[in-house]
Each structure stands twice: as structure tokens, then as C-alpha cells.
Amino acid sequence: MAAHVGVANRLLARSQDSPFAASVAAAASEAAGFAAWLHADMDDTGTARSYYRMAIDRAQRAGHDLLAGYMIGGLAAFEIDAADPGYGLELIGDARRQVGQAQHPTPLAWLDSLEALGLAVARKDGAAADRAIVQASRVVESKQATTTPPWPWVFPFDYPKLAGYRALVAVRLGRPSAALSAFAESMHAAQPAPRQRAVTMLEVATAACQDGAGRKESDRADEAFRLACEALRVGIDYSSERVIARARRFRRSYDGPATSYVREFDDRARSALRLCQ
């Protein structure tokens, strides 16, 4: 992928004075954005940031506001996820200004949902996060929500996607019951991309451990580690260092009883470590 980005950048340099410069810049932006996503999945945060910035620069040179807003929003999501949520919130504002008055609901609902997650992570502001989620749901309710989204978005932002964000927000705000309910709702329709689903499952596994709700500690652990085992399997199958690292971090945070699900997780984690040696 890095080689493809290099080719795109060389073509862009050669096309500066041609009528194709904007189209080549847009292609270079998409290539850099994909490279950024791949490096984020490899848990290589420094390189991921460099590629995201390159993607934004190329999109702005292309003069395509939606593409630039998409790449800025992608960097915002990355920063919220990579422990700099305050900067992520600033970037969401930049993405909104770049997108402008988008006619399709997908960009707007996506940015509202990202803002809700950023508010939950950066400020622990449940009221503000709830308002952002409500705004996203209003946008999703529009008649256009199920139509083909504008490029560079590929899939519309629908209720299951919104439920996935609601689950993440609820985990970060310490609302385990709401997180489990939203996660179940998000699974009723088409499945999200496997890696993203695995990340969400690990977040919800955390919520399951937190959920008192009249259940025994061993029952909570079984539910949590059932989800965590499935997420770890996805991380191993797709060689996602990001997912594997989060799964191991989840395990380190747990100090409860060693149920059969906990032992299964430990066995799978040890197998993954041996494969890497």
C-alpha cells in the first residue's frame, strides 16, 4: 500500500499543470487514507497520523470538500481512539466546516456520532453526548438515510451503525446496561467490518464486566470473555495488532474468577503469542 501511495504522489507531481491534477489528487488522497487505516490497524500510530495528514492535504488540493471532510473525520476518529480525544473534537469541527451543508444524511450523522463519542471520552459529558446522539438519530430518520451515500462514503449511516456508536458512548460513560442493549441492537442488521466489530465487542465486554444488574460475578465474566474471545479470534485471523493489543489490555484489567471462558481466552492469547515468535 505504501508503494501505491508513492506511485500516486509521483503521478500527482507530474500532473500539476494538467487538467487531470484534481482527479489524481483525489486518488492520492484515497490511497493515503487507506494506508493510514492500515497502519492504525497495525498499531503504528505515528505512521498512521502522517498518512492521514497526507490524505487531508491531497483531498484539499483536489478541491473536493466531501473527501477532505471524510479524511479529517477519519483523523478525528483515530485521535479519539488513540487517547487524544480533545484534539479529535477539534478536528470534528474542522470536518463539519469542510463538509459544509451536505445534502445527504450520512456525513452529518457520522460526524454527530463521532462528536458524541469524543464528548464521552474527553469530557465524560453524558448530557452533551446524549444530545449529539439524538441529533444523529434525527438525521438518520430522514428519507434519504437509506439511499446510496455520496462518495467517498460507501455505505449509508443507518440505525445499526448508530447503535454501535451508542454502545461505545455508553461504555465510556459507565452505562453498562445501555451499552449491552445498544450492542445487541447493532447486531440485528448487516455486520460491520470484522475489525471494527471486534473493537466494539471488546468495549462491550468491558461493559459486561461492569454490569451488576443482579447477576453473579461469574456470569458477568462469562458474557464478557465470550465476547472477548470472539474479538481476539478476529484479531488473530486478520493479523490486527490493534485488536490483539486491546484484547490483552482487557484481560489485564480483569482480576475476577477464572471461569472456563477466561481460561479459553488465555489459551487463545498464548497461542497468538507463540505464532508471533
Residue 22 belongs to some domain of the structure: no
- For 197, the domain range is 191-277
Classify residue 262: in a domain, yes or no: yes
Instruction: Tell me, yes or no, whether 36 lies in a domain.
Output: no
pLDDT digits (tens, 9 = 90+) for 40-81: 999 999 999 999 999 999 999 999 999 999 999 999 999 999
The per-residue pLDDT for range 216-242, each reduced to its tens digit, is 777 888 989 999 999 999 999 999 999
pLDDT value at residue 212: 61
Question: Is the residue at 226 inside a domain?
Answer: yes
| 56 occurs within a structural domain | no
Domain count for the chain, please give it: 1
**pLDDT (tens place) for every residue of the chain, 277 residues total:** 999 999 999 999 999 999 999 999 999 999 999 999 999 999 999 999 999 999 999 999 999 999 999 999 999 999 999 879 999 999 999 999 999 987 889 999 999 999 999 999 999 999 999 999 999 999 998 866 667 899 999 888 888 889 999 999 999 999 998 998 998 888 766 566 889 889 989 998 988 887 765 557 778 889 899 999 999 999 999 999 999 999 999 999 998 888 899 999 999 999 877 765 5
Residue 18: how many other CB atoms lie within 10 Å: 10
- 243 occurs within a structural domain: yes
- pLDDT at residue number 189: 61
Q: Which of 244, 202, 209, 243 is nearest to 223 (CA)?
A: 209
Listed in sequence order, the residues at least 6 apart from 262 whose beta carbon sits closer than 8 Å to its beta carbon are 221, 225, 254, 256
